[in-house]
Amino acid sequence: MGLPDYSLEAALGDIRVAGVDEVGRGPLAGPVVAAAVVLDPGRIPDGLNDSKKLSAARRGALSETLMAVAEVGVGEASVEEIDAHNILRASHLAMMRAIAALPQAPDHVLVDGNLVPRDFPWPATAVVRGDTVSQSIAAASIVAKIRRDRLMRDLAQHYPGYGWETNMGYPSKSHRSALIHLGVTPHHRRSFRPVHNILYQD
């Protein structure tokens, strides 16, 4: 499969199209972070792709470029919101906050996934595996990944031992071991089974 292109955006006509994606559904710790990006068709950076398919250095370079040539909004949903609602609803909250943070409201939104968030106030289309087909969604995935990784590295300085600077809060073997030996922090998602089981052991 080739790189994402701009065909989905172009097919919508001469309007402002935002791509939105989130990062951080699977971790045991930290918020879920979303980004929304409106690309300038005449200034699309080369090499946009699903953030997971890019090296850290390439993601960082592309994120810097995007901040200079595109409209970008970022939003997040907290651990408390993840636990109060669920990770899907929290992801949608982060997406809506990211779009609301854009300098100007988009005319249409391309949402990564198979579901447009309920109560979505913008015309929108869900795009399955959107970060592999839409340049706008791929751009959003890059910005969101960079922002969340930076946040988790910062948290790792305050909560050493969990390996967040490398595992970004995902349930690696070392992270699970640290949970058992060091305990649960305020940044852990208590509704997620590995954390819940430690908190509520018989």
Q: What is the DSSP string of 3-56?
A: --BSHHHHHT-SS-EEEEEEE-SS-SBS-EEEEEEE--GGGPPTT---GGGS-H
What value does the mean pLDDT take over residues 106-113?
97
Domains detected in the chain? 7-150 (3.30.420.10)
- Average pLDDT along the chain: 96
**Considering the entire predicted model, what is its pTM?**
0.95
Q: Which residue spans within 43-107 are E strands per DSSP?
A: 71-77
Annotated binding site, which residues? 21-22, 112
- Please determine, for residue 1, whether its predicted confidence score (pLDDT) is greater than 70: no
Q: 110: part of which helix (H) or strand (E)?
A: strand 108-112
Extract the tokens encoding 189: 């998602």
Note the pLDDT of residue 118: 83
Mean pLDDT of 80-88: 97
**Residues within the annotated binding site for a divalent metal cation?**
21-22, 112
pLDDT tens-digit series, residues 142-181: 999 999 999 999 999 999 999 999 999 999 999 999 999 9
Q: What are the pLDDT digits (tens) for 18-36? A: 999 999 999 999 999 999 9
Q: Give me the percent of the chain exceeding a pLDDT of 70.
A: 99
